[in-house]
Structure 1
Amino acid sequence: MYDENDATGLAALVAKGKVSPDELLDEALARVAARNPAINAVVLVQEDVARKSIAKGLPEGPFRGVPFLLKDLGAEAIDFPTHSGSRLSANTRYSYDSEIFKRMRATGVVTFGRTTSPEGGVGPVTEAAVYGGPTRNPWGLAHTSGGSSGGAGAAVAAGILPMAHGSDGGGSVRIPASSCGLFGFKPTRGRFPDGPAAGEGWAGMAIDGFLTRSVRDNAAMMDACAGPDLGAPYVAPPLENGYLAAIQRPPRRLRIGLCDTNFSGQPIHEDCAEAVAKAGALLESLGHSVAPTRPDADHMGMMRAWTRIVACGGALSLQQAVARRGKPLAADDVQGISRGALAFGKTLSGADYLAAVEKIHSYGREMARALQPYDVLLSATLAEPPAKVGRFHHDREDFEAYRIGKGGVFEYSPFCAAFNASGQPAASVPLHWNAAGLPVGVHLAAQFGQDELLIALCAELEAAQPWAGKRPDFA
């Protein structure tokens, strides 16, 4: 029963009285005990809080009674302490509930803990020292589950629960979705609230999201969370009918631009190129028009600006954490990459930061022009299959080289951050597994504000080539 249903299906069983929220929580906790030691994805379990929420009476939302986990970064909540991926912030407690948490809670989910994230949310892997070891991929324990929502991806892929919260500032939902054989969707900039602590993350590039098996679970949770909070500095164009309504029927036949290299024309791993080719053929078989393309924009310039903005954001987060703790930063409080971000951030002036923001805005205009001939841009999500654990470890301090240097993160993940910078909606869809049995996601991006068109296409692909039945042997 637990494995045969997505979150929507489990909520329907609760509504019919066929299973209770306590019984679903029992199952999720049993799976944490049995499966989490191998993958190191679930942390800060708060069973008593979950039991009390059930006893108090859950909201009558679309996911009433379904077990749920928050990413251990952001989503501030009074009842859920956080490490934020760092020994510096270990066991931080908040005096308020974030607006995004309030909206997730209103769906009726039973939140019982958090999932691992890298320190500062930086990197395509989840290997934070505060958790005592790396988070591993259920499809292959020697491989990463991705980052920064790597714990969320691993927990869902391992069958611990059907859906988990994540966030995405440079691919942090879509990278683990690709790595773990799940569906991940990054909405248009400004779609979800950031308050009350902030108005935006990383100059508007970061936004919350969800790791799910089904498109409909993601759609329903995004509907519940969409819309500005009080005092939001800007908002996304309003949805016409909502995500869930959009997936009730296929989209019109679309113009699809297919890119089987990285956006600068360099080749990608043959497994990833194969995934793109097969996705293009599937889309053509569904009646869509597919043509080769490569978006003409300053991709490296964008990534250099992205790196500067994120370094400044990381430096600010460290300074705030140190201020909360009330004593100076010690060398072993944070990992090398965080020390590198702090050092790099100190070399940048206010003018440098504003120039970087202007650069990503310019890049957004370039990408908008590049997508004008198309409704959707198809590429791989990553340029390679999931990396081995340790390849992108956080012990090094050369922050800029880690991101954009030779063999760095940008070579491995050259697609995702483009759409954080441009603000356009984008998704990773699990359509391919390689010969080694590792998931290889395909990436779909649409024009600014066209979230409903994009998720309708994702649902059409899900119906044409269902993936929910694919489970790792681990689970």
Structure 2
Amino acid sequence: MRDAAAMLDCLAVPQVGDPFLIPRPSEPYAALTRRRAAPLRIGWSAAPLMDVPVDAEVAAAVERTAATLAAMGHQVSEESPDFDGLAAMRSMTNVWFFGFDLRLEGYAKRSGRTIGPETLEPVTLTIYEYARRMKPPQFLDAMAALNTARRRLARYFTRHDMWLSPTTARVAEPWGLYNLGRRDVTMDDLAEKIFRGPCQFTLPHNILGIPAISLPLAMHSSGLPIGIQLGATHAAEHIVLQLAAALEEATPWEDRVPTLHASLAKASSR
């Protein structure tokens, strides 16, 4: 966390012309990270937000982290945010892909290539064709729906200073999930088939535009790390870093290495 805080001190610098500014604390993030956070109201939940079952070991790791935080003196309670995850994900795809056709057509013009099945993988071509059919009202409706979701989610942070959850419902997605050569994906089920699993707990923070961090606080029986996510309200990066630093001290992960890791590979002899 020391390095993360130092990096934020270097990078979180307003630029001329920025449309808005994120307030910074009165001290550097690196200095604040060395101090414990004052007692916080922490809500935690491992309940699915998009109907993707949470692995039992992942859920148990979240609950253990909640107990660790309670032992530190924080006020910890179990509560899920009010969030229709699947509806929000479908709206988000309309925001992501509005204008996608224009971007690809620009690439095609600069490269001298033709857009089609010979140059695009099936999923990318499906998104391109959908984007060409999109109308401005679809984008505006999606933005309105996300605004509603944002305001519902934000109520959670009137009751809690921090939200503790899994980073993902399972430690690894099935092989081939992100394969853009898949032919079983349409725009009607893209959100469910590709984005739902990995984005179930991360999407709310993206919609709200709030700081969050993923920490490898436990190991799964499969040998893979379990990600535990902390998220706070706007401009509370320093609190996220303070709490993360306390958890790093209480549950260190420096010496914990997955069973499949580059550091374990032996140099091949010649």
TM-score class, shorter: 0.7 to 0.9
In structure 2, the gaps of 5 or more residues are 264-270
Query: What RMSD in Å do the two structures reach over aligned CA positions?
Result: 2.1
Q: 1:328 to 1:222 in 2, by over 3 A?
A: same
* 1:295 to 2:81 alignment: yes
The question of 1:400 aligning with 2:153 is answered: no
CA contact (8 A) 1:264 1:294 kept: no
Partner residue in 2 for 1:46: none
Q: Write out aligned runs for 1:217-296 (5 A).
A: 217-263=3-49, 267-296=53-82
Q: Which runs of structure 2 are paired with 1:45-124 in the superposition (5 Å)? A: none
Please identify, of 384-393 and 419-428, the stretch whose mean Cα deviation from structure 2 is larger.
Answer: 384-393
The corresponding residue for 1:50 is none
1:362 Cα deviation from its structure 2 partner: 2.5
For residues 366 and 277 of structure 1, what CA distance do their matches in structure 2 show? 25
CA drift of 1:368 comes to 1.2
Deviation, 1:399, is 5.0
CA distances 1:371-412 after superposition (whole Å, capped 9, x unpaired): 21001011101011212431332113635355423x543134
How many residue pairs are counted as aligned between the two chains? 260
- What are the Cα deviations for residues 211-265 of structure 1, in whole angstroms up to 9, with x where unaligned? xxxx122221122111332322233233432321220101111111011212367
Matches within 5 A, 1:15-414: 215-263=1-49, 267-312=53-98, 314-396=100-182, 398=185, 400-401=187-188, 403-405=190-192, 407-414=193-200
Q: 2: CA distance between counterparts of 1:402 and 1:246?
A: 44
Query: Who is 1:120 aligned against?
Result: none
Q: Deviations over 1:52-81 (max 9, x none)?
A: xxxxxxxxxxxxxxxxxxxxxxxxxxxxxx
Greater fraction of residues in helix: 2
Task: Give the 3-state SS of the residue equivalent to 2:98 in structure 1.
Answer: helix
**Aligned letter for 2:147?**
H
Residue 470 of structure 1 is matched in structure 2 by 256
* SS of equivalent to 2:217: strand
Matched to 1:404, the amino acid is A
Deviation at 1:425, TM superposition (A): 0.9
Mark the CA change 1:240 to 1:308 in structure 2 (over 3 Å): closer, same or farther. Answer: farther
Identity of aligned residues (%): 28
Is contact 1:258–1:280 with CA below 8 Å preserved after alignment?
Answer: yes
Report the TM-score when normalising by structure 1.
0.51
CA deviations 1:166-208 (Å, max 9, x no partner) are xxxxxxxxxxxxxxxxxxxxxxxxxxxxxxxxxxxxxxxxxxx
1:389/1:254 CA distance change after superposition, 3 Å: same
Rounded to whole Å, the distance in 1 between the matches of 2:12 and 2:136 is: 32
Show the counterpart of 2:266.
none
Asked if the contact 1:360/1:422 (under 8 Å) is kept, the reply is no
- Whole-Å Cα distance in 2 between the matches of residues 266 and 331 of structure 1? 32
TM-score of the superposition, structure 2-length normalised? 0.87
Answering whether residue 212 of structure 2 is matched by residue 432 of structure 1, we say no
Amino acid at match of 1:430: P
* Shift, 1:279, TM fit: 1.0
Distance 1:393 1:237, change over 3 A: same
Distance (whole Å) between structure 2 residues aligned to residue 229 and residue 334 of structure 1: 37
Q: Deviations over 1:331-382 (max 9, x none)?
A: 2323222212212222321121122223222322221112210010111010
Q: How far is the alpha carbon of 1:294 from its aligned partner?
A: 1.0
Q: By how many angstroms is 1:448 displaced?
A: 1.4
The one-letter amino acid of 2:180's match is: H
Q: Residue 206 of structure 2 corresponds to which residue in structure 1? A: 420
Distance (whole Å) between structure 2 residues aligned to residue 401 and residue 383 of structure 1: 23
Structure having greater relative contact order (Cα 8 Å, sep ≥ 6): 2
CA distance in 2, matches of 1:259, 1:265: 14
Residues 108-143 of structure 1: per-residue CA shift (max 9 Å, x gap) = xxxxxxxxxxxxxxxxxxxxxxxxxxxxxxxxxxxx
| Contact 1:314/1:338, CA 8 A, preserved across alignment | no
**For 2:187, what is the secondary structure of its paired residue?**
helix
SS at match of 1:472: coil
Distance in 2 of aligned mates of 1:355 and 1:230:
32
Against the structure 1 CA distance between its residues 313 and 285, is the aligned structure 2 distance closer, same or farther, given a 3 Å change threshold?
farther
Distance 1:379 1:313 in 2: 33
Contact 1:426 1:454 in 2 (8 A): yes
